[in-house]
Amino acid sequence: MRHDPKDFQVFPRTIARSRGRKPITKFYYRLWKDDLRTSARSTHQETKSAAKRWVRKQLEAGTLTPREDSQDPTFKEYTACWWKWGECEYVLGRLERKKKLGRTYVDICRGYLVQHVWPVLGDLRMSEVTPQHFERLAMQLRKKRSRRGAVLSAITVNQVLASLNVIFSWQVKHKKLASNPVEPFEPLAETPRERSFLSPAEVRKLFNARRIGTVWGGDRRHYALNLLAASTGMRLGEIQALQNQFVFRGYLQVEHGWTRFGLGDPKTRRSKRVIPLPSKTQARLRELMEISPYQDPEDLVFWGSGPRTPVPQTTVLEQLYRAFGKIGVTEKNRTQRNVSFHSWRHFFNTFLRAAHIPDSKLQAITGHSTVEMTERYTHFQPEDFKDVLAIQEQIV
The answer to whether 43 and 12 have CB atoms below 8 angstroms apart is: no
Residues sharing a CB contact under 8 Å with residue 129, sequence separation 6 or more, in sequence order: 75, 121, 181
266 vs 263: CA distance, rounded Å: 9
DSSP class of 65: -
Beta strands at 247-248 and 251-254: parallel, antiparallel or unpaired? antiparallel
Collapse the DSSP code of 10 into the 3-class scheme (helix H, G, I; strand E, B; otherwise coil) and give the result.
Answer: strand
Reported as a single tens digit per residue, the pLDDT across 188-245 is 998 877 888 899 899 999 999 999 999 999 999 999 999 999 999 999 999 999 999 9
Kindly state the helix (H) or strand (E) to which residue 346 belongs, with its residue range.
helix 343-354
136 vs 231: CA distance, rounded Å: 46
Architecture per CATH, domain 75-173, reads as Orthogonal Bundle (1.10)
98 vs 269: CA distance, rounded Å: 12
Residues sharing a CB contact under 8 Å with residue 60, sequence separation 6 or more, in sequence order: 1, 3
Sign of CA dihedral 357, 360, 363, 368: positive
| Residue-averaged pLDDT of the chain | 85
For residue 255, the model assigns a pLDDT of: 94
DSSP class of 344: H
Q: For residue 112, give Cα distances in angstroms to 146, 313, 348.
A: 11, 22, 33
Q: Give the residue extent of every domain in the chain.
A: 5-69, 75-173, 200-395
For residue 68, which amino acid is it?
A: E
152 vs 140: CA distance, rounded Å: 10
Reported as a single tens digit per residue, the pLDDT across 247-287 is 999 999 999 999 888 998 887 766 888 999 999 999 999 99
For residue 4, the model assigns a pLDDT of: 54
* CATH number at 200-395: 1.10.443.10
Reported as a single tens digit per residue, the pLDDT across 308-362 is 999 999 999 999 999 999 999 999 999 999 999 999 998 888 888 878 777 777 7
Q: What is the DSSP string of 24-42?
A: EEEEEEEEEETTEE---EE
Q: Are domains 75-173 and 200-395 of this chain identical in fold?
A: no
State yes or no: pLDDT of 87 exceeds 50. Answer: yes
Task: Say what the pTM is.
Answer: 0.69
Residue among 250, 203, 246 at smallest CA distance from 395: 203
Residue among 259, 261, 266, 258 at smallest CA distance from 240: 258
216 vs 322: CA distance, rounded Å: 8
For residue 99, how far is the Cα from the chain centroid?
19
For residue 20, the model assigns a pLDDT of: 58
Residues sharing a CB contact under 8 Å with residue 126, sequence separation 6 or more, in sequence order: 72, 73, 74, 75, 78, 177
